[in-house]
Structure 1
Amino acid sequence: MTKHKRRELPSAVHDGEEYKPGDCVLINPDASAPAYIARIRKLIQIGPEPEQVELEVTWFYRPEEAIGGRKAFHGEAEVFDSDHQDKAPLAAILGRCNVHSVTRYEALDRRDENDFFCRFTYKPRTKQFEPDRVPVYCMCEMPYNPDRPMINCDTCDEWYHPSCLGLGQQVLQQDNFVCPTCATPQQPAKKSRPGP
């Protein structure tokens, strides 16, 4: 019996779909958990049969899978890139998915359950995030979450969640917006009299 020599492939086909390095895929989980999300790094032929292909992948983490868990500012479709590399069989692929930057995710005309966005890298060995600080907005002082639309004040250039201002979502349709702080007339400072 001859041993099959492992070789790197430019692509491989599974369930009629062609996959290449760089593609993001959903991987069958061990239990009833949501599908794992990975980026294919390499496809390796490990046996003589066409379906005997191993994936070398980099995993994405969902917020609840990382230290600290899901926070209020994490979007529903948010995942974290990672430095966690692993192997998985080609047959474990459930289908293709897309992991976008926040900007590209927001620009999508249509999103479905296979569209995700990423703005952090998680290092599971050290349990650290990059970047480890993000800007905060609104009076709630939370980082941006694409699931919670914000409106920009034309006067102070600050961003606000309508709900934090006690306003309805219809305010997002306005061409011009002035936040309540800027809309309140400022009282002139009282001059103090010089002392005796």
Structure 2
Amino acid sequence: MAKGRSSTRRTLDSYTVKSINKTIRAGDCVLMRPSDTNKPSYVARVEKIESDSRGANVRVDVRWYYRPEESIGGRRQFHGSKEVFLSDHHDIQSADSIEGKCTVHSFKSYTKLDAVGNDDFFCRFEYNSSTGAFNPDRVAVYCKCEMPYNPDDLMVQCEDCSDWFHPNCIDMSIEEAKRLEHFFCETCSSGDQKKLNNSHAASRHSEAKVDGKRRRR
């Protein structure tokens, strides 16, 4: 009887995707071609790279990141435009379906970026694709609306209690918020001890700002 071909696969340390001239390694985050060309590229983390015994037919074992709209609960107000969730969904894909490399930052490091590029994303939750559960299931909330922080939104900080507020939640326009020099929230300014003609220069959160006063829900 003829001896069959070996199906042994070997693990590669790296692989260069010729179409983009980029070398990928385990642990890299990548953009992968969607089956529907009308959808944005899928975001994944490469767990392992394998080829057949001849070094051909290269495949990647990936762990998918889900965008908020792909999750069971859908996109919510506090989800950032570049937010993704690290899921428990693994898959095997052709390495040649990789369209590019990207960076998935931690939440804190993302908020400290001077500029956000097309290939920058951030992740603050792990996501169970079967149950729709998130880990952690509680995050810090801010403002009168008690919503988690969306790094796309402008917020102002009370100089007394250090809580953060959305301008529209305190009857203020974005333009007014940007002109502030001092700001005291309604609670801290009660009794006319301080005036609401405000400001703590409105800005996006830095690490110190994220670590300020927190409430949890």
Alignment partners' CA distance in 2, 1:141 and 1:178? 18
Mean Cα displacement is larger for which, 99-108 or 165-174?
Answer: 165-174
**Partner residue of 1:8 out of 11, 31, 45:** 11
2:147 matched to which residue of 1? 142
Alignment partners' CA distance in 2, 1:74 and 1:42? 30
2:164 matched to which residue of 1? 159
The Cα shift of 1:150 comes to 1.7
Provide TM-score, normalisation by structure 2: 0.79
1:23 matched to which residue of 2? 28
1:168 matched to which residue of 2? 173
The Cα shift of 1:40 comes to 0.2
The Cα shift of 1:126 comes to 2.2
Matches within 5 A, 1:27-46: 27-31=32-36, 32-46=38-52
Check whether the contact 2:73–2:132 (CA below 8 A) recurs between aligned residues. no
1:106 matched to which residue of 2? 111
1:194 matched to which residue of 2? none
Report the CA distance shift for 1:144/1:47 in structure 2 as closer, same or farther (over 3 A): same
1:64 matched to which residue of 2? 69
Tell me which structure has the larger Cα radius of gyration.
1
The Cα shift of 1:26 comes to 0.6
Report the CA distance shift for 1:173/1:41 in structure 2 as closer, same or farther (over 3 A): farther
The Cα shift of 1:4 comes to 5.5
Cα deviations by residue, 1:60-113 (Å, 9 ceiling, x for unpaired):
000111111000010111100111111110010010111111111111122122
Identity %: 44
The Cα shift of 1:141 comes to 1.4
The Cα shift of 1:175 comes to 5.4
Check whether the contact 2:10–2:53 (CA below 8 A) recurs between aligned residues. no
2:199 matched to which residue of 1? none
Cα deviations by residue, 1:102-143 (Å, 9 ceiling, x for unpaired):
111111122122111111111012221111122221011111
Show structure 2 runs of 5+ residues with no match. Answer: 194-217
Show structure 1 runs of 5+ residues with no match. Answer: 188-196
The 3-state SS of whatever aligns with 2:125 is: strand
The Cα shift of 1:159 comes to 1.2
**Partner residue of 1:48 out of 54, 63, 74:** 54
Task: Establish whether residue 118 from structure 1 lines up as the match of residue 123 from structure 2.
Answer: yes
1:75 matched to which residue of 2? 80
The Cα shift of 1:3 comes to 3.2
Check whether the contact 2:82–2:121 (CA below 8 A) recurs between aligned residues. yes
Provide TM-score, normalisation by structure 1: 0.87
The 3-state SS of whatever aligns with 2:140 is: coil
Aligned residues: 186
Cα deviations by residue, 1:146-188 (Å, 9 ceiling, x for unpaired):
011222211122111122112233535655421233223269x
